[in-house]
Structure 1
Amino acid sequence: MTTRVYGTDHDDPEQGPQPGRAYRELTGGGPLDGQLVDVTGCTDAELVDGAYLITEAGRYGPGGRAAYGPPDGDPAAPWVWEGDLP
């Protein structure tokens, strides 16, 4: 089974990672764990900031966000769940 990239549809035949793109794995016990987020073109400063990703599966339901970012500010590390936001 291919790891799904955040933002792709479940029935998209190309929902997995694509050649020439950079990704970070989402981990840490959050609603999007196991998916990849496309970080192609992001600077190290942007990678350290992480992202608030829209999810229907989080604490706040549809339209809520899950915060993910690198542990210890390591821009190359998988992103860890930091909590949910409305």
Structure 2
Amino acid sequence: MNGDEQLLRGRVYGCDHDDPDPGPLPARTYVTLVGGPLDGLLLDITGWTPEEVDGGVALATELSRWPGGRALYDPSADGPRAPGPGVACRFYYSGDAP
């Protein structure tokens, strides 16, 4: 694991790198990103509809194959989902896009 990957672990996607508390907040709902350049980050999905969750995400990152590109993450079709606050499910890396 390189230094950039270590810096990201346990953080919420979108938090500033110098945020003193980049971890999850109570009463928020998150997915865990698995694999790829954002492995180990949490993504805040509070207020997302089931259809939005099913659609997955394309997240901007300088760590993708194309700097400034997007890392693509999708939920597992048969993965468990927990309603309410906390970690609801996992999104798995499926590739990069420019």
The reply to whether TM is greater than 0.5 is: yes
- Aligned length in residues: 83
Indicate which of 31, 34, 39 corresponds to 2:40.
34
Paired with 1:53 and 1:30, the residues of 2 have a C-alpha distance of 11
The residue aligned with 1:68 is 73
The residue aligned with 1:11 is 18
Q: Which amino acid aligns with 1:67?
A: L
**Percent identity (aligned):** 51
Residue 72 of structure 1: SS of its match in structure 2? coil
Q: State the 1:5 CA deviation.
A: 0.1
Task: Note the residue ranges of structure 1 that are not aligned, 5 or more in a row.
Answer: none
The residue aligned with 1:84 is 96
Alpha-carbon RMSD across the aligned residues, in angstroms, is 1.6
Query: 1:51-73: CA deviations, max 9, x gaps?
Result: 10000001001x20001010116
Task: Note the residue ranges of structure 2 that are not aligned, 5 or more in a row.
Answer: 1-8, 82-88
Q: State the 1:83 CA deviation.
A: 0.3
TM-score, normalised via structure 1 length: 0.89
